[in-house]
A and B are shown apart, each in its own frame.
Chain A
Amino acid sequence: MYKWLSVLSMVVAVQAAAEPVIIPAGEYKPAVLLDETVEVVVMPAFKLDAAPVTYAQYLDFVLENSKWRRDNIAAIFHDGNYLKSWSVNDQVPAGYESKPVTEVSWFAARAYCDAQGGRLPTLDEWEYASNYYLQQHGLSDKAYAQMLFARHSNPTAYSKQEVDTTIGQLDYMHNRVNEWVEDYQLLLTNGDNNDLLAGSCGDSARFMADFGDASYATFFRYQSRSNYRPQSTTSTLGFRCAYDLEK
């Protein structure tokens, strides 16, 4: 039974094994100013998964890396709710194969990407890719902000939708799950006092490039994620992996 299931999951994974997308080099202007001085960030090219990692893909990882199985994971790497909705240690919930995997901690997400020869994208890489995606799709700031606020308003409705990992172009940046990034903590380098306030209780204007809806939507993604612990797992937080270009 289990053997048959894992064969099935491998079939799914083979289907899903589309190449990561190349995000070309360029410049981007962060919506959130972590530094007083840096306004335009120069980004080298890198590769990024086209879609968030799915349950089927994550199951393969768990089957091959037993220390990341639900019953084996070290307590220091999660908050007690790792893969909570899996009723069995080596089987994803029925019908979840093509949904973005959630209930994974930052440590687990990193381990997954490491096993694929990749890594979690940095915050800059993820946001730069997001801008690239918005340009590719011609999405206006307003449409982008509305999409993101809609997800913030009802994240579960989005996180439970499937993704197609075979389409070969960057997708699902804003309408599935919030995603882990390598340096997810909000690191404000423009001074000790700023760092202490860390964008709490109305203290956000100083970190905003402008006060448009789009910037707020982006800020909100940064800020809400930065309050998670690296052990945090939730049903609406997933990830995708980044890869260096071959040198």
Chain B
Amino acid sequence: MKNLMLALSVVLFSSGVAIAQDHSQHNHHDHMNHTTFKAEPVNKEHSIYHLDGEWQAHTGESLTLANFQGQPIVISMIYGSCTTACPVLVNDARRIFEALPDAYKGEVKLVMVSFDQDRDTPAALAEYAAKYNLGDDVWTFLHGDDNNIRALATLLGVRYRKRADGDFDHSNLVTVLDVHGRVVERVEGLNRPVEEAVNALVKIIDENHLLHR
């Protein structure tokens, strides 16, 4: 059963890639698909956990970003009704996680933040996580208000814009944050190689002796 799910998700994700690539070649003529924004450069010296806004996890729990302090995280921004790039971004985060040495997997959290204040309620995000078979111990999907979403996106260098049809144009970016919430690695684009993100995570975990706590 699990293998079947995996195979299904591979099919799903690879078709997502195909759609996204196709879109990039034809977006002048196809306004139904979203536009990819190039990510902005960001400050890597300081912690983004200075943002003190409240978020709701897909589990219903309320938290601030500082809750993730003390371990590295892989963070990306998506929205639930996005069928092209977003599933690929989720899969990219999963690929990073799965490429970690087994011993390191317990020290990393994957955080997916929604652009969509209105549609991606915690309940909707819980459904999303369940549909993609993403376990609560590793994955956190966050719902926030427009104010907090914009602030976080800006610090991550993710550019986005809500379209009239309710969908979002956005940068495709997966970011690795260190134990203090500083940006250490950014993977821009879809379905990119994961080695550098994995190496960054391993380095953070080693340097902070997280395995031997």
The answer to whether B31 and A195 have CB atoms under 8 Å apart is no
Of B36, B151, B163, B169, the residue contacting A110 (CB under 8 A) is: B151
Contact bitstring B5-41, A, C-beta under 8 A = 1, else 0? 0000000000000000000100110010001111010
> Number of residues in B with C-beta < 8 Å to the partner?
26
Interface stretch, picked from B45-53, B61-69, B104-112, is: B45-53
The answer, yes or no, to whether B164 is at the interface (CB within 8 Å) is yes
Q: Interface-forming stretch among B73-81, B126-134, B153-161?
A: B153-161
CB of B95 closer than 8 Å to a CB of A: no
Residue A38 CB within 8 A of the other chain = yes
Q: Is B150 an interface residue (CB 8 A)?
A: yes
- How far apart sit A76 and B160, CA to CA, in the bound complex (Å)? 20
Q: How far is the CA of A127 from the CA of B36 in the complex (A)?
A: 25
The answer to whether B151 touches A36 (Cβ under 8 A) is no
Q: How far is the CA of A230 from the CA of B43 in the complex (A)?
A: 10
* B163–A189 touching, CB < 8 Å: yes
Q: Is B3 located at the chain interface by the 8 A CB criterion?
A: no
A25-57 vs B: 1/0 string, CB under 8 Å?
Answer: 000000000001110000000000000000000
A96-111 interface code vs B (CB 8 A; 1 in, 0 out): 0000000000110010
What residues on A are CB-neighbors of B151 within 8 Å? 107, 110
Residues of B within 8 A of A114 (CB): 147
Residue contact B35 to A192, C-beta cutoff 8 Å: yes
With A75-B45, A76-B48, A182-B150 in contact, do A191 and B35 touch (Cβ < 8 Å)?
Answer: yes
Taking a contact as CB atoms under 8 Å apart, the answer to whether B169 and A187 are in contact is yes
Report the contact-size class of chain A (Cβ under 8 Å from the partner). Answer: 20 to 34
Cross-chain contact A75 with B164 (CB below 8 angstroms): no
Q: Is the CB of B35 within 8 A of A75?
A: no
- Given known pairs A107-B151, A119-B147, A182-B150, the reply for A74 and B50 (CB within 8 Å) is yes
Please pick, from B38, B43, B48, B161, the residue contacting A196 in the complex, using a CB distance under 8 A.
Answer: B38
Q: Which residues of A contact B27 (CB under 8 A)?
A: 191-192
Beyond A190-B28, A190-B35, A196-B38, whether A76 also contacts B163 by CB under 8 A is no
Mark interface residues in A105-124 (1 if CB within 8 Å of B CB, else 0).
Answer: 01100100010000100000
Is A61 part of the contact surface with B, judged by Cβ < 8 Å?
A: no
User: A189 contacts B169, CB within 8 Å?
Assistant: yes
Complex alpha-carbon distance, A191 and B46, angstroms: 32
Question: Which residues of B are found within 8 Å of A192, using beta-carbon distances?
Answer: 24, 27, 35-36, 38
Q: Does A231 contact B (CB under 8 A)?
A: yes
**Bound form: Cα–Cα A208–B163 in Å:** 20
Instruction: Give the distance in Å from the alpha carbon of A133 to the alpha carbon of B159 in the complex.
Output: 30
A75 to B181, CA, bound (A): 13
Q: How far is the CB of B18 from chain A (nearest CB, A)?
A: 17
Bound: A191/B164 CA distance, A:
16
The distance from the CB of B143 to the nearest CB of chain A, in whole angstroms, is: 19
Which residues of A lie under 8 Å from residue B155 when comparing CB positions? 76, 230
17 further A-B pairs in the complex, CB-CB below 8 A; given A74-B46, A187-B161:
A38-B164, A74-B50, A76-B155, A110-B147, A110-B150, A183-B150, A183-B161, A185-B159, A187-B37, A187-B169, A189-B163, A191-B28, A191-B35, A192-B24, A192-B27, A195-B37, A230-B155
The chain A residues found within 8 Å of chain B, CB to CB, are 36-38, 74-77, 106-107, 110, 114, 119, 182-183, 185, 187, 189-192, 195-196, 230-231
- Interface pairs A-B: 7 shortest CB-CB: A76-B46, A74-B50, A187-B161, A189-B35, A75-B46, A230-B154, A189-B169
- A-B contacts, 10 listed (Cβ < 8 Å): A76-B43, A77-B50, A110-B151, A114-B147, A187-B37, A187-B159, A187-B160, A189-B161, A192-B27, A192-B38
